[in-house]
Amino acid sequence: MSTSGEDLTLVWFRDDLRVADHEALTAARADGRVIAVWIRETRDEEGLGPRPLGGACRWWAHESLTVLHEELSDLGIPLLFAAGRAEKIIVQLASSLGVTAVRWTRRYASASRALDGQIKTVLNDQGFTVHSHTGALLVEPWTAAPQSSDHYKVFTPFWKAVAGRDVGDVLPKPQAQSPLSQTLLSRAHECPAVMELDGLGLLDGTETGAGEAAAASGPRWWQDTIAGHWSPGLRAAEDQLDDLSAIIDGYTTSKDVPSDAASTSRLSPRLRHGELSPRQLLQAARTTSSLTQDDRAAWIRQLYWREFSWHLTYHYPHIDSAPIRPEFHNFPYEDDDDALTHWRAGTTGYPLIDAGMAQLWQTGWMHNRVRMVTASFLTKNLLQHWWFGEQWFWDTLVDADEANNPVSWQWVAGSGADAAPYFRVFNPERQRERFDPDDAYIDDWLPYTPATAPPPLVDLRQSRQAALSAYDHMKNRSTTRDNPGES
443 is in an annotated binding site: no
Helix (H, G, I), strand (E, B) or coil at 36: strand
CA atoms of 276 and 355, how far apart (whole Å): 30
Instruction: Give Cβ neighbours of residue 223 (< 8 Å, ≥ 6 apart).
Output: 59, 203
395 is in an annotated binding site: no
Q: Is 397 left (phi over 0), alpha (psi -120 to 50) or beta?
A: beta
129 is in an annotated binding site: no
266 is in an annotated binding site: yes
CA atoms of 319 and 102, how far apart (whole Å): 30
Q: Which of 391, 432, 425, 423 is nearest to 409 (CA)?
A: 391
CA atoms of 104 and 135, how far apart (whole Å): 10
Distance of CA 330 to the CA centre of its chain: 28
Helix (H, G, I), strand (E, B) or coil at 433: helix
Q: Name the phi and psi angles at 12, rounded to 5.
A: -95, 105
| β-pairing verdict for 101-105 and 7-13 | parallel
Amino acid residing at 321: S
The secondary structure of residue 378, as a DSSP letter, is I
Amino acid residing at 218: G
Beta-carbon count within 10 A of 464 CB = 18
Sheet (strand 101-105) strand order: 129-133, 101-105, 7-13, 32-41, 79-84, 194-195
264 is in an annotated binding site: yes
268 is in an annotated binding site: yes
93 is in an annotated binding site: no
Helix (H, G, I), strand (E, B) or coil at 342: helix
Helix (H, G, I), strand (E, B) or coil at 286: helix
CA atoms of 275 and 229, how far apart (whole Å): 17
Distance of CA 486 to the CA centre of its chain: 44
204 is in an annotated binding site: no
Q: Name the phi and psi angles at 347, rounded to 5.
A: -130, 45
400 is in an annotated binding site: yes
CA atoms of 108 and 323, how far apart (whole Å): 19
Radius of gyration of the chain (CA): 23
Amino acid residing at 211: G
Helix (H, G, I), strand (E, B) or coil at 9: strand
CA atoms of 209 and 229, how far apart (whole Å): 21
Q: Residues within the annotated binding site?
A: 251, 264-268, 299, 399-401
**Residues tagged in the binding site annotation for FAD:** 251, 264-268, 299, 399-401
